[in-house]
Chain A
Amino acid sequence: MSAVSDLGTARTRRFDGLKKRAARHRSWTIVVSMAVVGAILPVLAYIPPFTSAQPPSAWIDGYTNAGVFVLLALGLNLVVGVAGLLDLGYAAFFAIGAYTYAYVASPFGNDILGITLIKSLGIEGAGIVFWPMLLVGALVAATFGILLGAPTLRLRGDYLAIVTLGFGEIVPIVFLNADAVTNGTNGIGGLVRPALPIIGGFSAMNPWPYYVTMLALVATVMILCYRLVESRLGRSWEAIREDELAAAANGINTVTTKLLAFALGASTAGIAGVFNASKLVTVSPDQFTFIVSFTVLAMVVLGGMGNFWGVAVGAFVIYTINNVLLKSLNQFFDKTQIPILMDIDFIQLQFLLYGLALVGMMLLRPEGLFPNSRRKRELHAVIADASEDELLAAEATTEEGQR
């Protein structure tokens, strides 16, 4: 008995050391790996099989768009994956972030707010507001996250999902119908692009500044997410997800903790919204439909709930499959000259294939591509519980043997 347990503790001790070291340098790990990934991705865009799908600059642009979804997925992962609050209206916060930027950074929005920012700074000069607006967008979205969270605190699971679904529908509809202040269906156009003092304004022709900005944003958000989850607050979120009553009985203010999860998740979406608006130069209600909420949720589930790296990779992969691979299947099969496949229009089948991929994924790997160890335990608990009795019996016999 003692020999076995010694071996066990030795192993856990070594594991502890590794974990501690990784945790101590986690932020650097993230920065370095983001830099590496950020350097490799553009190189891929210039290599043959990929260049045939679309030109390199389109790839870079696509990576940046994927980055928006990575941000969204990271934020939703805090709410759904860590705190266990199912949110089906996440696109609402995305929309709120985008419209916040639109009001400050477009002539139309400036008229509504009664400010003369663009007039006084000029189209080029006004781009500098993009940077503080990232923070403002996050704060505004967080406020709405709290407003949504407050009345729904007593709800759980399915009921919470339905309320958030409603919220997710309300927000775009308000933007659609409040014609006077939101310009309705057309949305708000003519947003200024971001600018930096030395580099000058970003432009539609050059995807690189956006790409680098996105890398920095993703790295920052990921560092913050990891720090939060490993803190006292992160533990409370996990405790609430596991057992709310027990969490309260251990002194966790479940109300505040859940509100914080909503607020932080929403603020990430707000940042993504500001970025996306500045890149598209226009915001309109149809950018924030339920499909967005759903896609982000699918990314979180597929990537591996609760695991930030997994979720980021999941978001990237799904975005790329959905927007690049499935779209280039036509070209691909045209070249291969296979009779039947050549005649199928894969663009029409895009969502069918996407759905099939989701179903297949859930059957084969319900815990996602890169599962969080805890989630894995949860999902495989059914099997473990069944064999627990056997295990206990085995343990009892060995213990008796040792006595």
Chain B
Amino acid sequence: MSGNVLDNDPILVADGVTRRFGGLVAVSKVDFTIPERAIVSLIGPNGAGKTTFFNVLLGVIDPSDGSVEFRGRRMVARPERLAFESLVWVAPALILGLLAFLLAEAGILGGRLLALVGFLVLMLLIASLLLSIIRPVWYQKRLSKLGIFRSARPNDMVEAGVGRTFQNIRLFKNMTAIENVLVGMHVKLKGNLLEAMINSKRMRNEEVEALNRANELLTLVGLGGKGNEAARNLPYGDQRRLEIARALASDPRLLLLDEPAAGMNPKETQDLVALISKLRSELGLTILLIEHDMKLVMGISDRITVLDHGEKIAEGTPEEVRRDPKVIEAYLGAPAA
């Protein structure tokens, strides 16, 4: 059964991902693919570079080398020709300004018209500056045609269909559970500034639907009826599950869980395993786990990848990894020679 899943088309392909911090190579040339609908895990001793790798996948930090492709689109890679980007957006304004200046020197343009052109140039500069800050998708695509590339930011990854949770829970603690999920639904909702100001009917309907969907998600992770509790007041295990619900709210295709069982008791871990399996079977999700809890990892994964000192030292089914001498060495140390 698990073999079938691993033969699926890859949803995410990391190719030779490397990340250096000064002289330290935190992640070194890691190739990594996640087949669709698979549950794959990333393990390794402390400091192996798991979280760095994870952050590269999510666009939180740029890789020093290599690239990450998600659903066929290159999302994360080393930035290319960034210097040209500012040129692209300054150039039109500069050309216009220069033209106006030359015309004014020649005596053709003057007075109020010149002031108007100056104003136009200023507005053009502001608009292009804003464009370069906000970076809408069409702008990025235009740029990539010119050979200018910049890694996707975390919010771009969410929009592309990646959800995540954090190693140390990062809920919006003073918001209620349901509000947390609603924030997670951000990319699915369309209400904008203007609509909010006029309180449009479409937006109100959308909000009602969002509320219903959020309640469904809470029920799915087992938090039904706790929607109005402040996140800070929920017990630890519930907070973990709320974080998963929040990540699910953006309807991701790929869910990245960073040590979801950390700090859980055996019963809670058991529930978590059931939940993760349910997510795959019911929502058709692909899941990447980073985990220390070996029992959980071995029990649930289709495939396990082991990192040590930033390098991939083993990859395979739980059985293969368990017997791999390199893995045993990494965890327990080399036998005395």
Query: A: which residues have CB within 8 A of B?
Result: 5, 8-9, 12, 15-16, 27, 114, 143, 146-147, 150, 153, 224, 227-228, 231-236, 238-239, 242-243, 245-256, 259-260, 374-375, 377-378, 381, 384, 392, 395
Contacts and interface: CB of A to CB of B under 8 A. Distances in A.
B133 A377 contact: no
A16 B191 contact: no
B58 A249 contact: yes
B170 A256 contact: no
Contacts of B146: none
Contacts of A245: 60, 154, 170
B186 A392 contact: no
B155 A246 contact: no
B197 interface: yes
A236 B126 contact: no
A147 B123 CA distance: 11
Interface of B: 58, 60, 111-112, 115, 126, 129-130, 133-135, 153-155, 158-159, 164, 166, 170-175, 179, 182-184, 186-187, 189, 191-193, 195-197, 199, 203, 207, 225, 227-228, 230, 232-233, 235, 246-247, 249-250
Nearest to B198: A227
B235 A251 contact: no
Contacts of B111: 114
A384 B232 contact: yes
A248 B155 contact: yes
B134 A256 contact: yes
10 contacts: A12-B227, A114-B111, A153-B133, A232-B191, A233-B191, A239-B175, A248-B155, A253-B153, A381-B173, A381-B174
Contacts of A259: 130, 133-134
A15 B229 CA distance: 13
Contact of B133 (A114, A232, A255): A255
B228 A242 contact: no
A378 B183 CA distance: 19
B246 A250 contact: yes
A243 B197 contact: no
Nearest to B170: A246
Nearest to B158: A251
A236 B196 CA distance: 13
Contact of B175 (A12, A146, A242): A242
Nearest to B171: A246
Contacts of B166: 246, 249
Contacts of A16: 228
A378 to B, nearest CB: 5
B192 to A, nearest CB: 8
Contact of B174 (A227, A252, A374): A374
A381 B170 contact: no
A246 to B, nearest CB: 4
A150 B235 contact: no
Contact of A239 (B115, B183, B196, B227): B183
Given A248-B155, A377-B230, A114 B170 contact: no
A299 B255 CA distance: 44
B203 A252 contact: no
A260 B184 contact: no
Contacts of B199: 27, 227
A231 B158 contact: no
Contact of B196 (A15, A231, A249, A253): A231
A16 B153 CA distance: 36
Contacts of A232: 182, 186, 189, 191, 196, 207
A224 B197 CA distance: 6
Contacts of A146: 126, 130
A232 B249 CA distance: 14
Nearest to A231: B196
A377 to B, nearest CB: 5
Nearest to A254: B155
Nearest to A114: B112
Contacts of A238: 172, 175, 179, 183
Contact of B225 (A9, A233, A252, A255): A9
A285 B216 CA distance: 56
Contact of A250 (B153, B183, B193, B225): B183
A227 B196 contact: yes
Contacts of B233: 384
Given A236-B186, A248-B154, 13 more contacts: A9-B225, A228-B196, A228-B197, A231-B196, A243-B171, A243-B172, A247-B172, A249-B164, A249-B166, A250-B184, A250-B249, A252-B186, A375-B174
Contacts of A9: 225
Contact of B153 (A236, A242, A248, A378): A248
A307 to B, nearest CB: 14
B193 A249 contact: no
A231 B191 contact: yes
Greatest chain B CB density within 10 A among A5, A242, A245 is at A242
B134 A253 contact: yes
Given A224-B197, A242-B175, A249 B232 contact: no
A192 to B, nearest CB: 23
Contacts of A114: 111-112, 115
Instruction: Tell me which of A147, A227, A250, A392 has the highest count of chain B C-beta atoms within 10 A of its own C-beta.
Output: A250
